[in-house]
Amino acid sequence: MNIIQTWKDENMPGIYKGLSDKVKFYNPNWNYMFFTDTDIDQFIQTKMPQHYSTFENFKQKIQQLDYFRYLAIYYYGGVYLDLDMNILDSLDDLYNTNPEFCKFPIELTNITDTIINRQNFTHLIGNYAFYAPPKHPFIKRIIDNIDAQRIHDDDIKIAQSENTDPPSQVYVYCTTGPVLVTQTYIDNSNLVELLIPTPINHNCFGNYGMHLSHGNWKA
């Protein structure tokens, strides 16, 4: 199976080089795939050209990177990991146990978000790390929801008015990020296994590791 990570170019900062080396150390039997911005552009143009116009038309680069991670996992299968994931163990059980299920982390619990709460759900599903076999229907539905803007502008404006983060960041959450993924989960919960660490802790990927939440895209 594959592990997919990205950075803008080959010159990965030292801290992320160390974290990616840990990923490889704990997972020697996995195929490690690294994509630069140029690689991402070429992948979509050559492997999934029907999605290239959507990719090109995003307002923010992070939306392109979000979109790519779903396209790449849909095409190749495997695990996507943000570079600021601190992996602490082998990922083998993601594939060895119920490999047909898509697996996403619970990023936050007991959130206050009108879009989510009005549907009787209180968790935020993270997109910093996830697993799926190739052509998984849940990943396809995430892609379709992005293409169709599943969360409409009126709801995004409500979210922007309620959230303390800048409106441009909330727009990303709702169009390609964790709020969009959470909405897709609410619509298709039978297709996904949620990874909850024991003891429960925010920003984790089950017990496999922790998201350090560097948030480089927000800078």
pLDDT by residue (tens digit) across 18-74? 999 999 999 999 999 999 999 999 999 999 999 999 999 999 999 999 999 999 999
Reported confidence tier of residue 114, pLDDT bands at 50, 70, 90:
confident
Does the pLDDT of residue 194 top 70, yes or no? yes
Going by the DSSP 8-state scheme, the letter that residue 49 receives in this structure is G
What pLDDT is stored for residue 219 in this prediction? 56
| N-to-C CA span, the chain | 33
Query: What distances in angstroms separate CA 172 from CA 52, 121, 167, one per listed residue?
Result: 18, 20, 9
Pairing state between β 124-125 and 102-108: antiparallel
**CA-wise closest residue to 91 among 32, 15, 6, 12:** 32
What's the rounded Cα separation, in Å, for the pair 127 and 145? Answer: 15
Spatial separation of the C-alpha atoms in residues 29 and 90, rounded to whole Å: 10
Q: What is the mean pLDDT of the chain?
A: 94
Q: Average pLDDT for residues 168-183, to the nearest whole number?
A: 95
Question: Rounded to an integer, what distance in angstroms lies between the CA atom of residue 2 and that of residue 73?
Answer: 9
Share of the chain above pLDDT 70, in %: 97
Closest CA to 71 of 27, 31, 127, 16: 127
Do 191 and 138 form a contact (C-beta atoms < 8 A)?
Answer: yes
Which residue is it, tokens 């146990």?
Answer: 97
What's the pLDDT at 213? 86
Asked whether residue 187 carries a pLDDT value surpassing 80, the answer given is yes
- State the Cα angle at 151 between 134 and 107, rounded to 5°: 60
Q: What pLDDT sits at residue 201? A: 78
What pTM, to 2 d.p., does this model score? 0.95
Question: Tokens 């160390």, residue?
Answer: 18
Query: Which amino acid belongs to residue 139?
Result: I
Reported as a single tens digit per residue, the pLDDT across 65-101 is 999 999 999 999 999 999 999 999 999 999 999 999 9
Nearest CA-CA partner of 80 in 131, 137, 120: 131
75 sits in which H/E element = helix 61-76
Phi/psi zone of residue 151: left (φ > 0), alpha (ψ -120 to 50 degrees), beta?
beta
